[in-house]
Structure 1
Amino acid sequence: MCTRVVWTGPSGDVLVGRNMDYHRDTATNLWSLPRGIERDDGVGGHLSWTAKYGSVVAAAYDMMTVDGMNEAGLGGHILWLTESDYGTYDKSRPALSVAVWMQYFLDNFATVAEAVEWIEKTQVQVVPLGDPATGEVPAVHLALDDATGDSAVIEYLDGTPTVWHSHDYAVMTNSPAYGEQLDLLKQVRGFGGDEPIGGTGSATDRFARAAHYVERLPEPQSRVQAIAGMFSVIRNVAQPFRTPAPGKPFVSQTIWQTVADLTNKRYVFESTTRPNIVWVDLDELDFSEGAPAGKLDLLGDTALEGGLAGNVSGRFEKADPLTFISMP
């Protein structure tokens, strides 16, 4: 489970908030990835590329990028969607491993419109691969957003991409599929219907709450207030810690949250198990071709005092580039 919300403020600044809700820790670290890194699709190498843009990403298990933004102001966010059906892998079609799916867009595009045009032209296939540690195969959909406030939701329901592309598609959660979520929202008071806004942790209730509150944020007087406003919305749709009920061992809880300021190029990360918020100003990172990748070790940040806090742009350690899960 997860929630993602886009907000274009009165001044035109665009911020995106997301909750990562999951039933176990995703061993997430932050990575700084410069331009010029060579990558392939992870499913045979038929599609390969050199990163055009540098990016800051949150990586699950240091093998799959699930959230982040690039230096051009394009953001990407992977969320769970049980209904996902990627179809049977067809080697005659362009394809991407699910692990590198989001990263392809951050590497290659500056806007949502550019990314959507490429998806519609190629009909790129996504190939799900299991986590080597657990064998769990993710069923996910992808949100893209950019510094103009444009947004797209990409889902695979029958082996081919369905793209929902509009500035209006500011909220995304989980099941059911996006078209049905939009129809259900029309039944809610304030969006065309008579149903009250639900207060549960269900994806449909979180969708309605996020859509309601993001439209009512006050005009911020500073970048800090804008980020705080977005945090106030995603905290409203966060999942609390709780003991799973009998027969439901995979109950999700919010394990971390991010706010991406796509206008001012700031990426803010908050763990729900550590006391400090950290942020990265992309303008302070070296994304030049030939620069080393950098890793911010969040897993090792266990100190309540003297640990990571505030601006951590200078705290990345040189590292080999991410190695994505790929087909054997």
Structure 2
Amino acid sequence: MCTRVVWPDAAGAVLVGRNMDYHRDTGTNLWRLPRGLEHDDGVGGSLHWTSRYGSVVAGAFDMMSVDGMNEAGLAGHILWLAESDYGTFDRSRPALSMAIWLQYFLDNFATVADAVQWIDETEVQVVPLGDPATGEVPAVHLALDDATGDSAIIEYIDGRPTVWHSREYLVMTNSPTYDEQLKLLKDVEGFGGTKPLPGTTLAADRFARAAYYVGRLPEPKTQVEAVAGMFSVIRNAAQPFRIPDPDKPYASQTIWQTVADLTNKRYVFDSTTRPNVLWIDLDKLDFSEGTPAGKLDLLGDTSLEGGLAGNVSSRFEDTAPMQFLTLQA
């Protein structure tokens, strides 16, 4: 159910990688969203804003931002957390629908510190929305990271945001909650304990392996070596394709992976079902206010020969902006 890892010292660059693990395809396409887009909170509340920063995001079903980075070098990543408790929706509080939660930060902030300050000041509520196709209601937490190497994990427990903010918080997986993950890591050899480095796909085991290997990456000589190094870590934490166990019919597998170079503004995407690595250089995109949004159709890219691969910065098709899922009145 997903892994996120930050490499804060990749020869002067900050890189972050993530696995998207899920039990079914998420209909993911990539989107180019310019400055100047008008958005609202999706729940009929008081939050309305105009995007200050352009961004490239990976969408789920073209209705929800689940991963991405903006032109200032702030990135965000939605991962599963079963313990999430968003509380009862209180219309008197500032709130964001889960579908646009990540996008709010990419639209409005350049640094993790500024985003965390806003969360502390507002205690913004997150409102979960059911998948219109299945009715499944996700339970998720959010990681933010930026080009300075700063990092934060935001979890909702008992209806309020708990923010873990530190440059030391390089890894995030899933259950249990982040404080418990940090405690479990201390039991592992190399982090103060005596247990050998674990090898299963359980969230705590992936957490330990990712933390171990990201701290032992060799210094890269090039940007390509840096991206390759990060891929080596997140692939070690990936979940292979497998037939579901009878007692785990919704067991996840890694369906795609991303590596974002927050310093050099490069976003790399790798599907596990179509092994063509592609990347986008944000500095080559026009995010000017008034320019149209763009969509990179990954669902139609089914060919290994002639399909999307390499630098695809120029291959976004102009389109209307993503329409985020909203709370139905």
TM-score by length of 2: 0.99
Structure 1 residue runs without a partner (length 5+): none
Alpha-carbon distance, 1:45 to partner: 3.8
Q: Secondary structure at the match of 2:278?
A: strand
Deviations 1:70-110 (A, max 9, x none): 00000000000000000000011000000000000000000
Q: Write the deviation string for residues 123-176 of structure 1: whole angstroms up to 9, x where unpaired.
A: 000000101111111100000000000000000011000000000000000000
Q: C-alpha separation between the residues in 1 aligned to 2:236 and 2:224?
A: 18
Residues in 2 aligned to 1:204 and 1:187: alpha-carbon distance in whole angstroms = 11
Corresponding letter in the other structure for 1:233: V
User: Residue 305 of structure 1 corresponds to which residue in structure 2?
Assistant: 305
Which position in structure 2 is the counterpart of 1:295? 295
User: Which residue of the partner structure matches residue 62 of structure 2?
Assistant: 62
- Kindly provide the amino acid, as one letter, of the partner of residue 59 in structure 2: A
Q: C-alpha distance in 1, partners of 2:10/2:106? A: 26
SS at match of 2:182: helix
In structure 2, what is the equivalent of residue 153 of structure 1?
Answer: 153
Could you tell me which runs of 5 or more consecutive residues in structure 2 were left unpaired when the two chains were aligned. none
Aligned position for 1:136? 136
Question: Contact between 2:275 and 2:304, CA under 8 Å: does it hold in 1?
Answer: yes
After TM superposition, give the deviation of residue 286 of structure 1 in Å: 0.6
Do the aligned partners of 2:11 and 2:221 also contact (CA within 8 Å) in 1? Answer: no
SS of the aligned residue for 1:82 comes to: coil
How much does 1:20 deviate? Answer: 0.2
Which residue of structure 2 lines up, in the alignment, with residue 123 of structure 1?
123
Runs ≥4 in structure 1, deviation > 6 angstroms? none
Partners of 2:87 and 2:159 within 8 A in 1: yes
SS at match of 2:290: coil
**Displacement, 1:12?**
2.5
Query: What's the counterpart of residue 184 of structure 2?
Result: 184
> Within the alignment, does 1:251 sit opposite 2:212 as a pair?
no
Aligned position for 2:25: 25
Letter in 1 for 2:8: T
Say which is worse superposed, 107-116 or 43-52, in terms of deviation. Answer: 43-52
User: Residue in 2 aligned with 1:36?
Assistant: 36
Q: Which residue of 1 aligns with 2:105?
A: 105
Q: Which amino acid aligns with 2:3?
A: T
In the other structure, the counterpart of 2:242 is 242
- Number of equivalent positions: 328
CA distance in 2: counterparts of 1:190 and 1:245, whole angstroms: 32
Letter of the structure 2 residue corresponding to residue 298 of structure 1 = L
Partner of 2:318: 318
The whole-number CA distance in structure 2 between the counterparts of 1:101 and 1:316 is 24
Query: How far apart are residue 10 of structure 1 and its match?
Result: 4.9
Identity %: 77
1:46 equivalent to 2:18? Answer no
- Determine the C-alpha separation between the residues in 1 that align with 2:235 and 2:9: 18
Partner residue, 1:233: 233
Q: Give the Cα–Cα distance (whole angstroms) in 1 for the partners of residues 298 and 291 of structure 2.
A: 22
Q: 1:263-282 residue pairs with structure 2 within 5 A?
A: 263-282=263-282
The whole-number CA distance in structure 1 between the counterparts of 2:282 and 2:10 is: 23
TM-fit CA distance, 1:119: 0.1
